[in-house]
Structure 1
Amino acid sequence: MNNYELMVIFTPVLSEEDFKTAQKKFTTFITDNGGQIVHTNPWGLKSLAYPIQKKTTGLYWVLEYNAPSSFNEQLKIQLLRDENVLRHMFTVLDKYAVEYNGRKRSGVPTGVEKAVEG
């Protein structure tokens, strides 16, 4: 099992209920195929750096999960088939990134703040 982070940009025309349904769809797909959800973080509506399909905003969602390495190809197919997904990006997390994300979620200082202040 590897650690991954998935960022998805959904079309901004989704209602709040549709946005939650889309999130539930992908989290269920991951758990049904042997993965485990670590953390989910819906960022909400944000401006895009450049227009995608003539849209200048998108609904952002970040998901951290554990899954076998062969699973990402199946998830990629599901993301590409969904017409509400504008873009997606997988990131493989090493042990330091997993540790950093865990400390960040729990509110423990990550060390980066001290370097910036000092």
Structure 2
Amino acid sequence: MALYEHVFIARPDISPAQVESLTEELKTLIEEKGGKVGKTEYWGLRNLAYRVHKHRKGHYGLIDIDANGDVLNELDRRQRLSDDIIRHMTVKVDAHTEEQSAILSKKDDRRRREQRR
């Protein structure tokens, strides 16, 4: 089994609670197929670099996965059929990190700077 990072973008008109339930559904799918899920992160509602299906924003999420190709194929198939997912991408990595991703650590740095002022 190999290590992957899976990032998805959900439609902006759904609530953050729905994004969390969508993440839970993806986790159960991965675990049912024999994969393992590491950390999951919700990055929030963010601006897109360009319009995707007439949307300018999207809810971003990250899932660390330890799985084989069959799990990824099923995950890809389900997300292509889902109406809530705008885009998704899976990238193979050498190792997972336990610390926060760069997106979340950047937000924390901004908050610390604002608190100092």
TM-score above 0.5: yes
Task: Give the superposition deviation at 1:74.
Answer: 1.1
For 1:62, the equivalent position in structure 2 comes to 62
* Runs of 4+ residues deviating >4 angstroms: none
| Cα deviation code 1:20-69 (max 9, x no counterpart) | 11111111100111011111011010000001111100000011010112
TM-score (structure 1 length as normaliser): 0.80
What secondary structure is seen at the aligned counterpart in 2 of 1:62?
A: strand
For 2:17, the equivalent position in structure 1 comes to 17
For 1:115, the equivalent position in structure 2 comes to none
| Cα deviation code 1:60-109 (max 9, x no counterpart) | 001101011232111100010101000000000114xx2xx23x34xxxx
Counterparts of 1:24-39 in structure 2, within 5 Å, are: 24-39=24-39
For 1:86, the equivalent position in structure 2 comes to 86
TM-score (structure 2 length as normaliser): 0.81
For 1:45, the equivalent position in structure 2 comes to 45
Task: Give the superposition deviation at 1:14.
Answer: 0.5
Task: Give the superposition deviation at 1:17.
Answer: 2.3
Partners of 1:16 and 1:88 lie apart in 2 by 17
Partners of 2:63 and 2:71 lie apart in 1 by 15
The count of residues paired between Structure 1 and Structure 2 equals 100
Gaps of 5+ in 1: 106-118
What secondary structure is seen at the aligned counterpart in 1 of 2:17?
A: helix
Gaps of 5+ in 2: 101-117
Aligned amino acid, residue 4 of structure 1: Y
Aligned amino acid, residue 67 of structure 1: A
> Is the aligned partner of 1:4 residue 2:4?
yes
